[in-house]
A and B are shown apart, each in its own frame.
Chain A
Amino acid sequence: QKEVEQDPGPLSVPEGAIVSLNCTYSNSAFQYFMWYRQYSRKGPELLMYTYSSGNKEDGRFTAQVDKSSKYISLFIRDSQPSDSATYLCAWANQAGTALIFGKGTTLSVSS
């Protein structure tokens, strides 16, 4: 089993839709969870960072972590064409010796 599983998509939605992106992981040692957005030909940009189960909200973005199920999600409300990008989930351990990424989900929001 791979350490991180992420549906690559592509996912296409109309402007204003609610988007749900999901990842599963297998390693219980991972304690910190992140979501990144990557535009074409750019470096990944940190969107959300959390280390506890539950929800964390930042504007139109909500990160949800379920450690018991080893499952994390990113919800995007009122999606905009500018949200069109690849979204990567990531895990890290406290020692800084592991920073593992999913392969990314490509999202396209049409106006």
Chain B
Amino acid sequence: NAGVTQTPKFQVLKTGQSMTLQCAQDMNHNSMYWYRQDPGMGLRLIYYSASEGTTDKGEVPNGYNVSRLNKREFSLRLESAAPSQTSVYFCASSEVERGAFFGQGTRLTVV
């Protein structure tokens, strides 16, 4: 049972480049989330999807887009990467009365 799988684990981008972070869960959860984690800032919610076909903005959505491709997959896209987007990105999925489970993260550096 893999849980939540994120790809890639590491990425270096040049300013202005685009990329998509992939996330897949095999727990049949309805809700999925994307967070970024920066030193001293904790986990900040970028976007979430409460169910297949729906997405909503979180605390820090600017510069990002998401797609809930199906119940299993939730991707995060950076259209034009900026150095301020250097961070560790975590995907999570959750179900009521079961808690939320995280992937191992993607370390992104924008130079």
Q: Are A44 and B90 in contact (CB under 8 A)?
A: yes
Residue from the list A43, A99, A103 in contact with B103, Cβ < 8 A: A43
Residue from the list B42, B94, B102, B105 in contact with A92, Cβ < 8 A: B94
Residue from the list A32, A43, A99 in contact with B33, Cβ < 8 A: A99
Asked if B110 is at the interface (CB within 8 A of a chain A CB), the reply is: no
State how many angstroms separate the Cβ of A6 from the closest Cβ of chain B. 8
Give the interface SS of chain B, mostly helix, strand, loop or mixed: strand
Residue from the list B41, B90, B96 in contact with A32, Cβ < 8 A: B96
Interface residues contributed by chain A, number (CB under 8 Å): 23
B30: chain A residues at CB < 8 Å are 96
Q: Are B102 and A45 in contact (CB under 8 A)?
A: yes
List the one stretch of B14-22, B48-56, B62-70 in contact with chain A.
Answer: B48-56
A102: chain B residues at CB < 8 Å are 42
Contact flags A78-110 to B (C-beta < 8 A → 1, else 0): 000000000010101011110111111000000
Binding site for A on B (CB under 8 A): 4, 30-31, 33, 35, 40-43, 45, 48, 50-51, 56, 90, 92, 94-105
- A selection of 12 A-B contacts at a CB cut-off of 8 Å is A32-B99, A42-B105, A43-B4, A44-B90, A45-B102, A46-B99, A92-B100, A96-B48, A101-B42, A103-B40, A103-B42, A104-B42
